Amino acid sequence: MIWIVEGELDRLVLTQHLPSDAAAVTSTGGADTFARGWASLLKAPHIFVLYDNDEAGERGATKVRAALPRAVSVPLPLWLGRRGDLTDYFLAGGTYEALLDLARHALRRRR
Amino acid sequence: MACGAKGRVGDYLAWLRHTQGEAAVSAALQTGAWVGPQAPPPAPPLALADAIIYHLSLTPTALAYYHKRGLTDDTILRRRLGYGAPPGKSHQRFVLPILSRGQLVNLKFRRDDTCPTCGAIGQSEGEELICLQGHRYRPADPDEKYIGIQGHNRPFSGAPTKRPAPV
């Protein structure tokens, strides 16, 4: 399982919570940066996009899905607010297990 | 070469190839001069040792910032997160080494957007920043949020140019 997140600091925070069979990656260039050529480098049964709850995050996630159609966007919980990000999620007590539930839900909704 | 930066010819050609294509590189090599649009020479690559120096320059305030971002001491230590000014710049930034298989690929310098009034983390709101306490301010550092400098695996390159004063 691969999680694509918006920035390096988010990636570091998520990595602290990941089991050994999952990885987190980021472009380090912000939400708007995702080159089509990177898609073929990401090989995993499940790829989730976990960007911020704001307009830039939504735009970035759309860009990732355009380059990588099998990637599934996972919206962060609404209680984080419009500007909430992955760091806020973990700082507010969010767990990796709950994140997985959100990912499963997003996967089911897509099917 | 017209850029005149001794030791940076490889970087210059890489930049030329990236922005103008292979033909421009061939033309520049044949004529020994570049007559196209001027571009600043890329910053010289930084070494893993530079990242370690930035890591050793961590101030208590910078450490507190990483903690506020939810990062543990173990992550800060293993990822060699640091603090300091990029070469040629005066404003201190958070330094994030991007490593691949133990090699430094890139050194990212993130602008220090902490609130000057209360020290809380600031978030961009247009051209201004707003902290968790609601203070609005402009970033003291005029450069963009992230500056990236390519890494290399040669020994120490001599950067950073400035280190924070001891606390």
| Predicted confidence (pLDDT) at residue B25 exceeds the cutoff of 80 | no
Task: Please report which confidence band the pLDDT of residue B158 belongs to, taking 50, 70 and 90 as the band edges.
Answer: very low
B63 close contact with A: CB closer than 8 A? no
Cβ–Cβ < 8 Å for B78, B66:
no
Q: Please, which contacts does A94-98 make with residues 24 or more away whose CB atoms are closer than 8 Å?
A: A95/A17, A96/A17, A96/A18, A96/A19
* Strand, helix or coil for residue A10: helix
The predicted pLDDT at position A5 comes to 92
pLDDT at B105 over 50: yes
Interface-testing mutation among B69, B123, B130, with chain A (most A C-beta atoms within 10 A): B69
Higher local confidence (pLDDT), B17 or B60 = B60
Pairs of CB atoms within 8 A across A/B: 36
Percent of chain B predicted with pLDDT > 90: 28
User: Is this prediction's ipTM beyond 0.85?
Assistant: yes
Would an 8 Å CB–CB cutoff place A98 in contact with chain B? no
Give this prediction's pTM: 0.74
